[in-house]
């Protein structure tokens, strides 16, 4: 069953697969950037041009046009969104070396990307710290209310991000989200650079917490978290937020997340009551 895709001017829930009547959820895994937080909105506008710059300067005899380079890099950046940043940097290195170019160490790419990104988001972080920006201004609509509603349903909440762990924890606190997740906030660690943080969290849940895949809910705007939870039999909700306008669905995101196996699509969490009713097979009041 499927409703019409969400329209820019109103909230709607697009259902691809209904929740089975006997389904019992015990835990919910959330992505951070773009799913809950808008602090890093527009990070692709930093990463993709920077990667193109590095690619073009490192591959002296490239056969691709500038447009083809942009398409190549955009595709792998999108496909790896949700994994740690280092995975995208490693792929850049692979693509350069594949063409006979001289690539830098992936960590060099990561550090330079983060330097550029922090210049973009510095004012937001400072504004949250000094109170000149309210947390709700940089939260996806309805996020806090929805997290609270899930806790009231007895759901364990976990947050797993591809962003470095110290920054995820810091930004979650700045947005007031730490009270919902407690110690269940996980991010990228350099010592585990080759492991997907979200995959690690999911495996821990399944092996250590007596949770089956079907007991797991997932909310994210990246291909990776949707695909991983879909594979273990969980129920996946694509949060296809238009981050720039903070209203309606980003159609590009929507199509990408549907291809990853999303069971439902939302623009944000603003209609908490309808979303809770859908997930827990309740009648709306």
| Predicted TM-score of the model (pTM) | 0.86
Would you state the pLDDT for residue 280? Answer: 95
Helices (H), ranges, 131-271: 143-152, 165-174, 178-181, 197-208, 223-231, 251-259
Is 270 within the bounds of a domain?
yes
Q: What are phi and psi of 225, to 5 degrees?
A: -65, -35
Is 211 within the bounds of a domain?
yes
Rounded CA-CA distance 143/80 in Å is 24
Question: Final residue of a domain: which of 130, 162, 196?
Answer: 130
Is 225 within the bounds of a domain?
yes
Residues 222 and 148 in one domain: yes
Residues 156 and 240 in one domain: yes
Tens digits of pLDDT across the chain (285 residues): 344 444 434 688 999 999 999 999 999 999 999 999 999 999 999 999 999 999 999 998 899 999 999 999 999 999 888 788 999 999 999 999 999 999 999 999 999 999 999 999 999 999 999 999 999 999 999 999 999 999 999 999 999 888 888 999 999 999 999 999 999 998 877 654 555 567 778 888 888 877 899 999 999 998 888 988 999 999 999 999 999 888 889 998 999 999 999 999 999 999 999 999 999 988 765
Residues 197 and 250 in one domain: yes
Residues 86 and 162 in one domain: no
Residues 144 and 108 in one domain: no
Residues 163 and 222 in one domain: yes
Is 111 within the bounds of a domain?
yes
Residues 120 and 243 in one domain: no
Would you state the pLDDT for residue 61? Answer: 87
Calculate the dihedral angle through the C-alpha atoms of 127, 114, 241, 262, rounding to the nearest 10 degrees.
-140
Is 267 within the bounds of a domain?
yes
* Maximal C-alpha separation, the chain: 64
Residues 185 and 85 in one domain: no
Residues 63 and 147 in one domain: no
Tally of domains within the chain: 2
Residues 121 and 147 in one domain: no
Would you state the pLDDT for residue 8? Answer: 39
Would you state the pLDDT for residue 193? Answer: 53
Question: Final residue of a domain: which of 130, 149, 172?
Answer: 130
Residues 154 and 189 in one domain: yes
Q: Residue 71 is encoded by which pair of tokens?
A: 């398409």
- Strand ranges, E, within the chain: 14-15, 27-30, 156-164, 185-188, 216-220, 235-239, 264-266
Q: Residue 81 is encoded by which pair of tokens?
A: 């969104």
Is 285 within the bounds of a domain?
no
Q: What are phi and psi of 244, to 5 degrees?
A: -65, -45
CATH number at residue 261: 3.40.50.1000
Residue 113, burial from CB neighbour count under 10 angstroms (0-12, 13-18, 19+): buried
Nearest to 47 by CA among 84, 77, 76: 77
The set of residues, in sequence order, having a beta carbon less than 8 Å from that of 70 and lying 6+ positions away, is 48, 52
Question: Final residue of a domain: which of 83, 107, 130?
Answer: 130
Task: For residue 29, list its beta bridge partners.
Answer: 158, 218
Rounded CA-CA distance 73/148 in Å is 38
Is 5 within the bounds of a domain?
no
Residue 208, burial from CB neighbour count under 10 angstroms (0-12, 13-18, 19+): exposed
| Residue span of the structural domain in which 82 resides | 44-130
Would you state the pLDDT for residue 5? Answer: 43
Residues 27 and 125 in one domain: no
Is 183 within the bounds of a domain?
yes
């Amino acid at each position: 069953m499927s409703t019409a895709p969400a329209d820019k001017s109103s909230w709607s829930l697009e259902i691809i697969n209904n929740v089975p009547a006997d389904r019992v959820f015990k835990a919910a895994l959330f992505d951070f950037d773009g799913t809950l937080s808008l602090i890093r909105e527009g990070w692709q506008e930093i990463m993709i041009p920077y990667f193109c710059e590095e690619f073009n300067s490192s591959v002296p005899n490239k056969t691709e046009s500038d447009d083809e380079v942009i398409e190549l890099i955009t595709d792998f950046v999108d496909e790896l969104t949700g994994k740690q940043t280092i995975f995208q940097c490693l792929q850049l290195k692979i693509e350069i070396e594949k063409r006979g170019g001289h690539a830098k160490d992936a960590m060099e790419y990561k550090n330079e990307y983060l330097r550029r990104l922090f210049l973009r988001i510095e004012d937001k972080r400072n504004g949250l710290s000094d109170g000149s920006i309210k947390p709700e201004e940089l939260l996806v609509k309805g996020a806090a209310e929805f997290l609270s509603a899930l806790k009231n349903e007895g759901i364990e909440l976990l947050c797993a991000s591809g962003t470095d762990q110290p920054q995820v924890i810091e930004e979650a606190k700045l947005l007031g989200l730490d009270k919902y997740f407690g110690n269940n906030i996980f991010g990228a660690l350099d010592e585990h650079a080759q492991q997907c943080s979200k995959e690690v969290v999911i495996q821990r849940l399944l092996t250590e917490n007596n949770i089956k895949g079907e007991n797991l809910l997932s909310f994210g705007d990246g291909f990776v978290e949707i695909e991983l939870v879909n594979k273990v039999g969980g129920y996946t909700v694509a949060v296809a937020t238009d981050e720039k306008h903070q209203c309606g669905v980003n159609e590009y995101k929507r199509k990408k997340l549907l291809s990853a196996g999303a069971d439902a699509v939302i623009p944000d969490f603003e209609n908490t009551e309808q979303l809770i009713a859908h997930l827990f097979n309740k009648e709306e009041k």
